[in-house]
């Protein structure tokens, strides 16, 4: 496996703090799983990725412009689409 090629780096912001997260493509099933492991937020990801609770909503922000979009973290894969973006937990 080419580790460098599979490395994904992005920023994760919650409650006024921002951390740089470095992970790998196959390390988590989704962004929701990663956030649940990094941060202990009791109200986050209540349906464990079932897509019904909407508690895993985050803002995805491009690093090179001001474009933002609301997404469900359980529907976001840890892949190149996430690399270098900012994830803001609501």
Using CB under 6 A, list all residues that contact ligand FES: 32, 45-47, 49-56, 72, 74
Of 33, 39, 1, the closest CA to residue 19 belongs to: 39
Contact 73, 46 (CB under 8 A): no
- Least distance from C-beta 36 to ligand FES, angstroms? 9
- CB closer to ligand FES out of 5 and 43: 43
Q: Which is nearer to ligand FES, 3 or 42 (CB)?
A: 42
Q: Which is nearer to ligand FES, 6 or 39 (CB)?
A: 39
Q: Are 55 and 44 a contacting pair, CB within 8 Å?
A: yes
Q: Which two tokens stand for residue 53?
A: 């609770």
Signed CA dihedral, 22, 27, 32, 36: sign only: negative
* Least CB distance to ligand FES at residue 29 (A): 11
Shortest separation between residue 30's beta carbon and ligand FES, angstroms: 8
Residue nearest to ligand FES (CB): 74
57, two tokens? 């909503």
């Amino acid at each position: 496996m080419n580790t460098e090629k599979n490395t994904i780096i992005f920023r994760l912001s919650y409650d006024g703090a921002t951390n740089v997260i470095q992970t790998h493509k196959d390390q988590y099933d989704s962004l929701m799983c990663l956030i649940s492991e990094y941060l202990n937020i009791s109200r986050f990801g209540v349906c464990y990725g079932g897509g019904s609770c909407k508690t895993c909503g985050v803002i995805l922000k491009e690093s090179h412009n001001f474009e933002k979009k609301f997404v469900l973290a359980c529907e976001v894969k840890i892949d190149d689409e996430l690399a270098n973006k900012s994830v803001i937990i609501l």
